Amino acid sequence: MTGGRTLFEKIWDAHEITVSENGESLLYVDRHFIHDGTSQAFEKLELAGHTVRSPHKTFGTADHYVPTRNGLEGLPDPERRAMVLRLEEDAKRHNIRCFGFGHHNQGIVHVIGPELGLTLPGFLLVCGDSHTSTHGALGAFAFGVGASEVAHVLATQTIWQARPKTMRITLDGHAGVGVTAKDMILHMIGMIGAGGATGHVIEYSGSGIEALSMEGRLTLCNMSIEAGARAGLIAPDTKTVAYLKGKTFAPSGADWDHAVMHWQTLTSDSDAAFDRDVRIDTGDISPTVTWGTSPEDAVPVTAAVPDPQGEPDAERRARMIRALDYMDLKPGTPMESITVDRVFIGSCTNSRIEDLRAVAEILKGHKTKIPAMVVPGSMIVKAAAEAEGLDRIFVEAGVEWRDPGCSMCVAMNGVDVVGPGERCASTSNRNFAGRQGRAARTHLMSPAMAAATAVAGHIVDPRKSLVAGA
Amino acid sequence: MKPVQRIHGVAVGLEMGNVDTDQIVPARYLYRNRSDGFADTLFRDMRFDPQGREDGSFPLNGPEADQATILVTLDNFGCGSSREHAVWALNDAGFRAVIAVSFGDIFRNNAHENGLLPIVLEEHEVMHLLAHVKAGPAKLTVDLESQRVTLPNGTCFSFEIDSAARENLLLGRSKIDATHTLMNTIDAFEEAYLGRHPWSR
């Protein structure tokens, strides 16, 4: 092989312990995260008689099942409460550091990893959760795994993987007013499809990516999995280094200087070849929203619900008809005329401080017409938002200000659930049938659009609020 | 893990693309222990209405569907969440193989870990199988050794599979045990790696 290496290939090569006869690589894992849905992996580990090889490389936090108000009393179901407590028991039994319910570092695993400096550039990082792709925003090769692979990582600090293909998505140009990282990723998934990047690791590059904040990059990489990608990746730059400096678990002293020198080498060589190349003009992207039951069902908010009759592919047409039936929508309906029943602002996609600032900017001086809640991504985000007074803006607008957790994105705590037939404007990542509750209907969008929708009572272009508020 | 070599059994078709793992097992069942079983949660909200009434038109509710060991479906099967419960539910309901145009990466890895054989065929081959199984309960033969899917009339389709996954499935081998034989190699690698990347300690 001639030519340079991609960023992904550099990280892969640095972690490759050995290659089996049949071509699979055994990779070293720098960082492993667990959460309150990991009990079955511990069950598997212990049944097989294994122990945790490197407990200090794994960190736990409670997020999937935690209640978001009224403390543990807010979680009435004993089996779900047991999941929150089992994480702490499992972690304690194996000497794993855990930020359990109520801990000042607790939060959604993909929010706390970066904000605590546990996620570092060049790391190989895994977690038993598909949105582990989030951590690629810092230049880590990060991917989701199932319970068996979690048990394998706990036992050996390694993982077997077949080498994925590479795909570069270049976003060049300036994003328009009101166009966020969420709009960029929804636009991209709409373009390449929910299986468009299956088997690939995506590296995002271009001036549109360089311009994004770390929060925006985390949003972008988070939803790489919704295009089927094994991981999303952004080369670390000065923003990444500035973001990490001084974080609780980030290296310090000589280790910091050494690490920064290494991180500066983590870029794709100019002559590196990718298996696929996709180019997007950032200027072509509008505030984007989904109409169906797959994240690929994304359209500009100014557009109308598409007509399946215009779809030439029969299977795709059948899929659209099923989605429209589930969503109770008719082709040709302007997206902005769709009324919604509630608004959820949160999730590992959009619950960071910048997201909450964008929401506050829209809500300030307004009252919401429909029930809405803001669920911060972590205790640290919650404290930061309260220090800035964002919580008061939310409450004055009639929005509920909750405690951190996955909440209504995955509807697993049994109480933060969208009711049957209800329509929810959501800043989360999946509009799958039943995702937010049985028969619940989800429209994915940016925090700004969700806030503007809460004020209007129907889906609305957030640029109107930004202009009106200016 | 039970070895997978040859599966001869009833196949059912699910003519849908992008079937995500939330459809395969809704999140509200995920807290169960593995030993509790997940068969009753498989495609729960597609098979039953909220009152628990069976939807007779759903293929897995059809005649002889409870005998099925092979599922035939379209593209991107098992996309979405990493929940291994999706594979456990298929296992517990008796499935040994899923034939699709493509799979979500994490689902496919999870299937390999649990003796569920994920088979990728060309779209026209899958459509041929779907037409065959739609006409009524139909038997197929899947042979991992020869990497072939055979219809009762003798028509057969070859499939490719990652050779490591093939070997583990044929032997019913757990990866942890294989890795444990490499502990010295891992220890040596780790020492050198952490020497170069001390901030990862």
Please report whether residue A319 resides in a domain: yes
Q: Report the number of distinct structural domains present in chain A.
A: 3
Instruction: Show the domain range for A230.
Output: 165-237+267-284
Which residues, in sequence order, are CB contacts of A161 under 8 Å at separation 6+? A24, A25, A27
Same domain? For A208 and A314 the reply is no
Q: What's the CA gap between B163 and A160, in Å, rounded?
A: 13
Same domain? For A347 and A416 the reply is yes
Please report whether residue A246 resides in a domain: no
Q: What's the CA gap between A447 and A443, in Å, rounded?
A: 12
Contacts of residue B174 in chain A, CB cutoff 8 Å? 48
pLDDT per residue, tens digit, chain A (470 aa), is 568 999 999 999 999 999 998 899 999 999 999 999 999 999 999 999 999 999 999 999 999 999 999 999 999 999 999 999 999 999 999 999 999 999 999 999 999 999 999 999 999 999 999 999 999 999 999 999 999 999 999 999 999 999 999 999 999 999 999 999 999 999 999 999 999 999 999 999 999 999 999 999 999 999 999 999 999 999 999 999 999 999 999 999 999 999 999 999 999 999 999 999 999 999 999 999 999 999 999 999 999 999 999 999 999 999 999 999 999 999 999 999 999 999 999 999 999 999 999 999 999 999 999 999 999 999 999 999 999 999 999 999 999 999 999 999 999 999 999 999 999 999 999 999 999 999 999 999 999 999 999 999 999 999 998 766 54
Nearest CA among A423, A77, A409, A420 for reference residue B51? A420
Q: Is A421 on the interface with B (CB under 8 A)?
A: no
Same domain? For A13 and A132 the reply is yes
Contacts of residue B200 in chain A, CB cutoff 8 Å? 30-31, 120, 123
Please tell me the predicted confidence (pLDDT) of residue A2.
60
User: What is the domain-level CATH number for residue A405?
Assistant: 3.30.499.10
User: What is the domain-level CATH number for residue A191?
Assistant: 3.40.1060.10
Nearest CA of chain B to the CA of A6: how many Å?
20
Q: What's the CA gap between A294 and A296, in Å, rounded?
A: 5
Please report whether residue A417 resides in a domain: yes
Q: Give CATH superfamily name and number for B6-200.
A: Aconitase, domain 4 (3.20.19.10)
Same domain? For A147 and A231 the reply is no
Contacts of residue A231 in chain B, CB cutoff 8 Å? none
**A225, closest residue in chain B (CA to CA):** B80
Domain borders along chain B are 6-200
Choose from B46, B51, B109, B130 for mutation: most chain A CBs within 10 A.
Answer: B109
Instruction: List, edge to edge, every strand of the sheet that includes A276-281.
Output: A231-233, A200-205, A165-172, A276-281
CA B185 to chain centre: 32
Please tell me the predicted confidence (pLDDT) of residue B195.
97
Q: What's the CA gap between A161 and A230, in Å, rounded?
A: 11
Please report whether residue A245 resides in a domain: no
Instruction: List, edge to edge, every strand of the sheet that includes A25-28.
Output: A16-19, A25-28, A158-161
Q: Is A102 on the interface with B (CB under 8 A)?
A: no
Please report whether residue A256 resides in a domain: no
Same domain? For A123 and A227 the reply is no
Q: Are A146 and B162 inside 8 Å of each other by CB?
A: no
Helix axes A353-363, A447-456, angle to 10 degrees: 30
Please report whether residue A455 resides in a domain: yes
Please report whether residue A244 resides in a domain: no
Nearest CA among B75, B83, B81, B167 for reference residue B121? B75
Q: Are A432 and B30 inside 8 Å of each other by CB?
A: no
A200 forms beta bridges with A165
Same domain? For A393 and A406 the reply is yes
Same domain? For A185 and A147 the reply is no
Same domain? For A299 and A373 the reply is yes
Residues of chain B with pLDDT under 50: none
Q: In this structure, what token pair is assigned to residue A213?
A: 């904040």
Nearest CA of chain B to the CA of A103: how many Å?
22
Same domain? For A150 and A202 the reply is no
Please tell me the predicted confidence (pLDDT) of residue A467.
66
Same domain? For A85 and A210 the reply is no
Same domain? For A418 and A457 the reply is yes
Q: What's the CA gap between A187 and A339, in Å, rounded?
A: 22
**B75, closest residue in chain A (CA to CA):** A195
Q: What's the CA gap between A404 and A399, in Å, rounded?
A: 15
A35 forms beta bridges with A61
B156 forms beta bridges with B150
Same domain? For A443 and A309 the reply is yes
Nearest CA of chain B to the CA of A389: how many Å?
35
Contacts of residue B22 in chain A, CB cutoff 8 Å? 430, 432-435
Please tell me the predicted confidence (pLDDT) of residue A3.
82
